[in-house]
Structure 1
Amino acid sequence: MTPHPGTAVVVLTATTLPAAALPLLRTATRVYAGGGVDVALGDGPLPADVADEAANHPVVVLTDDPAYSLPGAPVYRTAGAALVRAAQVMDTLRSPGGCPWDAEQTHESLRRYLVEEAYELLDAIDDGDRAALLEELGDVLLQVLFHARLAADAADDPFDVDDVATALVRKLVSRHPHVFADGPAVWDAQTQENRWDELKQQEKRRSSSVDGVAMGQPAVALAVKLVQRAGKAGLPADLVPAGDSVGERLFTLAAQAQLAGRDPEHDLREVARRFADQVRAAEKSAKAAGVELTADAWRAHWPPA
């Protein structure tokens, strides 16, 4: 059943309306309050036969449920509407009567999940899989919401997801004075990157160009970041560590790749993924031939066709 052209679903965030929905509200014959929306904001509660009415008259449904929909009707959401709902769900899971597993978690117990979800997101990006990208971004967001909710329960120096978001907004605004203030104009991405680093250095009051680099990140990415930071501070390329040990040779290769404009972490990951595909193909080929994977069998089926 096709709804009337004036019919729409409007998702509220703390009773904030998306501006694009205002014309529809003015022309609607009925405005219904669904989900957790106060009935007083509409003409009455959401009826069970709203789809039938919407087929003949312009009807607007107000709801706080970002998943609600009327078949064929457009949905208008205030930016971040679903984020508010996600934070509410996380709060319910961690509150009394929620999930026992969620209630037992700590920042430390969740560490491995944060790392795993970040790598699964990288896989989705590398694979160009849009459905997986959407899902994995949600899993990474869950980690942010979870850690923020844990922080709200802390006895000392608690903070919550709103504090996290407020700090982020403050950072984004301060690092983009050309957008949110009367800062110097930025004409290209490289200029903005340099400006970002300058502002960051001023804010953090760091004494070294490599202060603040996450030393726990994968070694190749760490080497690249250190060389990048030191290079921006004027370190000559010939001072990059070199030597005969495995670690020194790997560092030199990573540094050379970074200085040449390459991303060695990405390049190495591509080779590793290709190697994994070759292993699977060789195993499949040997299995189809009914042979045991001895060293000779590996050689006979490698590289795979």
Structure 2
Amino acid sequence: MTDQEMIDCPEDGVQMQRLRAIMHRLRAPGGCPWDAEQTHESLLTNLIEEAYETVDTIQRGDWEHLKEELGDLLLQVVFHSELAEEAGRYSFDDVARGVSDKLVRRHPHVYGEAQVEDTDGVLSQWEAIKRLEKGGEDQAYLDKTGKGLPAMLRAFKLQKKAAKVGFDWPDDAGVIDKIKEELAEVEDELEAGDKQALSEEIGDLLFSVVNLARRHRLDPELLLESTNVKFEQRFDAMDKALVAEGVNLSSATLEQMETQWQAAK
């Protein structure tokens, strides 16, 4: 099959090859000027945005739209692989081979003779194999954990990994007490007026709240985004209610806004 025939091919079973052929043509001389100019660095924002848009469709249960978002996310993987192949580093096949090998290697209870009893056993085995791959006991246990993630997600991953070796609160009461302790320290620094110390204590408070979510297997990033959506919807409802009364946000009093906010809830 020629390159053009592959690009035009609608058949099942070859759509991954078709996507790669399209991407290659877009980057080739005479292709698309915009695609030809892109680099790993210039595509970073696209990669992040597509990942979050995929998360959004899943949270909303928009399964038909999810197909499109997964495609957009897949395009980012193919695009970065194309750039790497052009630079002579590795190809998409190398990327796919690497993750396939990793999955087989880290699932010896499926592809080998290892025995695990439950999900916790699978995760412990995964981490043990991963650590051996990354340098064994010579590597710091938390080294590179969550690097590049937003701070809240990284806190979540750091805490999860520490908990796997037993560094965790025995029950929720300890976490609640820690949150109260950190909140009291925030209040103290508010009175003291030391902005640097206040910043540190607010960070400690956030870290402790993430710990409570983590203990209940709740992703704090998703929890916060859900609250963001709820806040946006209620604020918009408040705004519309004020407009209906002939009042705009810039001239509304806090009391008027609070009344409509409560009504929106």
Query: Normalising to structure 1: TM-score of the pair?
Result: 0.70
1:274 maps to which of 230, 234, 238: 230
Contact 2:146 2:158 in 1 (8 A): no
Structure 1 stretches of 5 or more lacking a match?
1-13, 15-34, 38-62, 69-76
Q: CA RMSD in A?
A: 2.5
Aligned residues: 233
For the pair shown, the structure with the greater C-alpha radius of gyration is 1
Q: Distance in 2 between matches of 1:150 and 1:209?
A: 33
Which residue in the other structure is 1:195 paired with? 125
Task: Decide which structure has greater helix share.
Answer: 2
4+ residue runs of structure 1 moved beyond 6 angstroms?
238-242
Aligned counterpart for 2:78 among listed residues 145, 149, 155: 145
Higher relative contact order (CA 8 A, sep 6+): 1
1:205 is the counterpart of 2:135: yes
Counterpart AA for 2:79: F
The answer to which structure has the higher strand fraction is 1
Between the aligned partners of 1:172 and 1:264, the Cα distance in structure 2 is 27
- C-alpha distance in structure 1 between counterparts of 2:213 and 2:5, whole Å: 55
Matched ranges for 1:66-145 at <5 A: 66=10, 77-78=12-13, 81-145=14-78
Q: 2-side partners of 1:216 and 1:246: how far apart?
A: 22
Measured after TM superposition, the shift of residue 186 of structure 1 is 3.6
Question: In 2 relative to 1, CA 227–87 (structure 1 residues): closer, same or farther, beyond 3 Å?
Answer: same
Change (3 A) 1:261 1:158: closer
Percent identity, please: 39
Q: Secondary structure at the match of 1:301?
A: helix
Q: Write the deviation string for residues 105-159 of structure 1: whole angstroms up to 9, x where unpaired.
A: 11111111111111111110110001221111111111101111111121xx511
Aligned to 1:263: 219
Structure 2: state its 5+ residue gaps.
186-200
Structure 2 CA distance for partners of 1:217 and 1:136, relative to 1, 3 Å: same
2:9 pairs with 1:36: no
- Please say if residues 120 and 136 of structure 1, whose CA atoms lie closer than 8 Å, have aligned partners that are also in contact: yes
